[in-house]
Structures are given as structure tokens and as C-alpha cells.
Amino acid sequence: MNNLSAKENSATSENNSSSFIEAKNLLEYMWEQRCYFHSHPELGLKEFETCNRIEQELKALGLSPYRVGQTNVIAEIDSGRPGKTLFLRADIDALPVQEANNVPYKSQNPGIMHACGHDGHAAYLLGTAKLLLSHKADFFGKVILCFQAAEEIGKGARQIIEAGVLDKVDRTFGIHFQAGMEVGKIGVKTGADMASCDRIKIKIHGKAAHITRPQDGVDSVFIASLIVAKLHTVVSRVISPVEGAILGIGSVHSGTTYNIIAGEAEIEGTIRTFSADSRKKLAEKVEKIAKNTAEEFGGRAEVEIEDICDPCTNPKETAEEVVESAKKITAPENVITDLEKRFGSDNFADYSRKAPGTYVHVGSSDNEKNSWPHHNEHFDLAKESLAYAAALALQYSLDYLNKSL
């Protein structure tokens, strides 16, 4: 990895916007929270201590947080004046990664690490809560703060939706720190931003036999191999190359020893697309190929396709709103709107089923030590990125809630 040049680092030059200055004044507080969350990471649906800490901080501000499910924390800041409702979301779960960083805030939980920045998301939203409370007289309507569990495993969001939290929400807003993007830069993409995610699980039922008597068995390893090979050809034959999609296999398990024809096999993979039509086409092909191939060679295939999350798409209107707010807290040239769409997924997209919103990328790198990719054991965040995230959340809240009143 190369060091960021002096020119590239211009994005972090002095920022005199009011929202940024206020957020910068809270930077030590947010960094303290981030370091706590980083050193105490918890996996999805097990974020109990994380939630306790979040609730402790919110209660200290005079708020009344409550749980949805066991590990989603919700709190409201109501201006007391009629208006719109804005939903701010931060995901809080960690990953099953053994941290390789040697830092004072290194993970204390073996095999678990905040390798995607969710510790920073929780921290910046706590800072945003403080900022919004200090501006309670300056906006109409209310803000719902959402600390969401289990984004990495596609959970949490739908629990919150099913609980009715978004029933009267007018806008949604979410930030994700972006490794490799300089601190001070903000990415807002109109249209398709991130792909949908479906998890494929295929169980192949064959018949075990001695390896020297294939006529007595049904070889699930052979069937699985054929299915995997066929699935890797599907996208190029079914989906337009202009649109693009991914059908990838990440796991194949079968057999117990070298001289037994395996009676069972399991395949796991994923489908990633940017449209409901492509998503449906690929799911249908997976099921057809798996079942027909297994049957052709005397076996049987069970296919499960789990809907993890929708494509993440930013409507033009909401994206433009956020772009205007972003230009108030960083130089206009640092607001990037021509981002390439990506095949990563985020279940922030599910909130769009209830209310339109924008998913934003905030730069979190200022040197090679915090430029490692997401989900890497060396992942880290630049401290000042927290100030940009909180400043943007504050600025957008004020701009949106006071718009067209």
C-alpha cells in the first residue's frame, strides 16, 4: 500500500463549517466510544454489552432508549414541534475475524473484530445525538436514532421494520465509513449503489458406497462438482453484461475419508444483483440446475435461497438532498457523486421498503495503516472521520427537517 500524497490529503485541510466545528469538538468523546466498542466487539444478535454501553450513553443525555428484539437500540429526539421524521441508522455488530493490529484499543475478544467500521458507526451516532440535542430548538419534527444489530448476517433491519419503528418515518439516512477513501471526502451515489444479497444453500443427497464400487453408490461429490461448474456459467448466459451480476460459490463440504463415496454434500454461495428481475432469474436457474443435475445422476438436491437484503438504491431526490448538506461541511470537490456501483451489500436497503433514503460513504483513511480493506484483520479508522460523519448527520438532519416548512 502506498502512502497518501500531500495533494490527496488536502481533503483533511482546515474545515470552518459550523457543523464540522461542533462535531470536531466532540471528537475525543466519539473516539473514546469507538475505542470501547472496538475493544469489546460482539457478533450479530449477540451485541449485549454493546447495547448496554449505548443505552448508558443515551440515558446520560436524558433520552429514553428501548430495545427492539434483544440487541437493537432505538431512541427518539423530538423537537416538540410538528414536522417530519428522520431515521438515522448505525449498525453495531462485529465480524468473526482475529485482529492483527497492535493498538491500545485492540479487540479483547479472541476471534472477533470490528473489521468493517461498525464501531465507528455506533460512536458517531452517539456524537450526533449530543449535537442534535444541542440543536433541539433549531429543527421541527423528530429524529429516530437506530443502533442496528446483525447487519453482517442480514438481520436486525427487518426486526426494526416489523416492530413498526418506520411506520411514520419520512426519510432514512445511513453512513458507512469507506476504507481507501480519504478523510474529508464523502461519496453519494444516485441510483444503484450496492447489490442485493441472497444466500444459496444446496444439500445433495446421494448414496454412500465403497470407492471401488461406484455402481453401488450415488456420488454426491461428483454431483456437487458438476453443479458448481454449471452455476459458474449462469450469469454470462442469463444476465446482460451491461447490468452485471455475481453468482459465486464460497463453500463445498462433503465426504469423510478417501475410500468412501460420499453420500451427502453441501454447497453454499451467494447471488448479487442490482435488479429484482435479475435476482429472480438467477434464483430460478440455481434451483433448476441443482435439482436436474442431482436427478440425472441418481441423487436429490434440496435448494434454499435466503433473502438477505434488497439492492441498495439511492433515489435522485434524497441523494441530491444529502449532496447539498455534504457541501456545507466539506469542500464541494470532496463530495463524490460518480462512484461505481459495487457488489457488496448492506441491509440498510431494507428500510427503503418503508421510506426513501440515502446510503452515504464517508472517507476513513489518512495513512496506510487505516487504508486496509473492509473485513481485513488490519482494518482501522482514521480518528477525524468520526467528526465528518457526525457533522454530516447533523447538517442533513437540520436541512431536511427544516425544508419546505
Rounded Cα distance between 322 and 330, Å, is 12
Residue 55 in marked binding region: no
Q: Report the pLDDT value the prediction gives residue 8, as an integer from 0 to 100.
A: 40
Across the chain, what does the average pLDDT equal? 95
Residue 159 pLDDT > 60 = yes
pLDDT-based confidence at 3, cuts 50/70/90? Answer: very low
Residue 327 pLDDT > 60 = yes
Residue 12 pLDDT > 50 = no
* Residues above pLDDT 90, as percent of the chain: 94
Task: Give the residue from 88, 186, 87, 85 showing the smallest Cα distance to 142.
Answer: 85
Residue 35 in marked binding region: no
Residue 361 in marked binding region: no
Task: Give the residue from 180, 90, 171 showing the smallest Cα distance to 127.
Answer: 90
pLDDT-based confidence at 15, cuts 50/70/90? Answer: confident
Beta-carbon contacts of 69 under 8 Å, excluding residues fewer than 6 positions away, are 45, 149, 156, 159, 163
Instruction: For residues 68-88, give the mean pLDDT.
Output: 98
**Hey, where are the domains in the chain?**
8-193+311-401, 197-309
- Contact (CB, 8 A) for 144 and 170: no
Angle ∠(379,312,282) on CA atoms, nearest 5: 105
- Contact (CB, 8 A) for 291 and 301: yes
3-state secondary structure of 378: coil
Q: Report the pLDDT value the prediction gives residue 230, as an integer from 0 to 100.
A: 98
Residue 375 in marked binding region: yes
Task: Give the residue carrying C-alpha cell 454501553.
Answer: 53
Across-strand partners of 272? 246
pTM, two decimal places: 0.93
Q: Report the pLDDT value the prediction gives residue 170, as an integer from 0 to 100.
A: 98
Task: Give the residue from 188, 352, 343 showing the smallest Cα distance to 273.
Answer: 343
Q: Report the pLDDT value the prediction gives residue 124, as an integer from 0 to 100.
A: 98
Q: Report the pLDDT value the prediction gives residue 5, as an integer from 0 to 100.
A: 33
Residue 2 pLDDT > 80 = no
Q: Report the pLDDT value the prediction gives residue 16, as an integer from 0 to 100.
A: 77
* 218's grid cell: 450415488
pLDDT tens digits, residue range 49-69?
A: 999 999 999 999 999 999 999
Rounded Cα distance between 285 and 264, Å, is 22
CATH code given to domain 197-309: 3.30.70.360
pLDDT-based confidence at 405, cuts 50/70/90? Answer: low
pLDDT tens digits, residue range 380-403?
A: 999 999 999 999 999 999 999 999
Could you tell me whether strands 191-194 and 171-182 are parallel, antiparallel, or unpaired per DSSP bridges?
Answer: unpaired
Residue 374 pLDDT > 50 = yes
pLDDT tens digits, residue range 94-125?
A: 999 999 999 999 999 999 999 999 999 999 99
Beta-carbon contacts of 276 under 8 Å, excluding residues fewer than 6 positions away, are 196, 311
Could you tell me whether strands 186-187 and 209-210 are parallel, antiparallel, or unpaired per DSSP bridges?
Answer: unpaired
Residue 231 pLDDT > 90 = yes
Residue 114 in marked binding region: no
Q: Report the pLDDT value the prediction gives residue 164, as an integer from 0 to 100.
A: 98
CATH code given to domain 8-193+311-401: 3.40.630.10
